[in-house]
Amino acid sequence: MTVLSAGTRARPAKGLGVWLARHAPKRARGEVTIAIIPDRAMQALNRRFREVNKATDVLSFPAEAGSKKTRPTKTKRVGSYVGRVLLDPPLDPPLLGEIVIARGVAARQARALGHPLGTELRVLALHGLLHLLGYDHEVDKGEMARVETRLRRRAGVPRGLIARSS
């Protein structure tokens, strides 16, 4: 997997895609695009799709209109990155959607929590993937939190995103 950051050349994702494919829920089947973008680009996406005028750490854009995800609901190519992860690849993998991570927000969160940026990217990618699979922690009475906790513990990742905010 290769990450293309805005204004830079391609660089290795240091195993983020491989890690996500290895630790994804068993029912995750298909193709996921992961974008690591500057905070300004994330702010623009967050403003456009969630009407919140600040950068957030991660957004998920499901490919299927029928997804249970309530926000954002449209798939949007962000252009600053193209990288794909195949989860238990079928012959003709469906596109599950896109996970967009704000590079600066992730770096600040990693510093504040005392772990490497790579660990934070894993936490955010896993959280984003669960949203692509239809989970929504704002309305599911803890179902996403339970799944995220189980998966991150199995993968050896510290506290998940939902646990931090509750």
Which DSSP string do the residues of 10-39 spell out, in sequence order? EEE-TTHHHHHHHHS-TT--EEEEEEEE-H
pLDDT for residue 65: 47
Residue 96 has pLDDT above 50, yes or no: yes
Separation between Cα atoms, residue 122 and residue 42, nearest integer Å: 18
pLDDT for residue 136: 85
**For residues 95 and 30, is the Cβ–Cβ distance under 8 A?**
yes
The string of pLDDT tens digits covering residues 134-144 is 888 888 888 98
Q: Please report which helix (H) or strand (E) contains residue 1, including its range.
A: none
pLDDT for residue 157: 87
**93: Cβ–Cβ under 8 A, 6 or more apart, which residues?**
29, 30, 31, 86, 87
Residue 49: which of 165, 131, 126 has the closest Cα?
131
pLDDT for residue 129: 93
Q: Mark out the alpha helices in the chain (DSSP H runs).
A: 16-23, 39-50, 103-113, 117-132, 143-155, 161-165
Q: How many residues does the chain have?
A: 166
The string of pLDDT tens digits covering residues 111-156 is 999 999 999 999 999 999 999 998 888 888 889 899 999 999 999 8
Q: In the chain, what are the domain boundaries?
A: 2-161
Selected from 3.30.450.20, 3.30.70.640, 3.40.50.300, 3.40.390.30, the CATH number assigned to the domain covering 2-161 reads 3.40.390.30
pLDDT for residue 19: 87
Q: Please report which helix (H) or strand (E) contains residue 142, including its range.
A: none
Separation between Cα atoms, residue 102 and residue 124, nearest integer Å: 10
Q: pTM for the full model?
A: 0.77
Give me the phi and psi of 82, to 5 degrees please: -140, 115
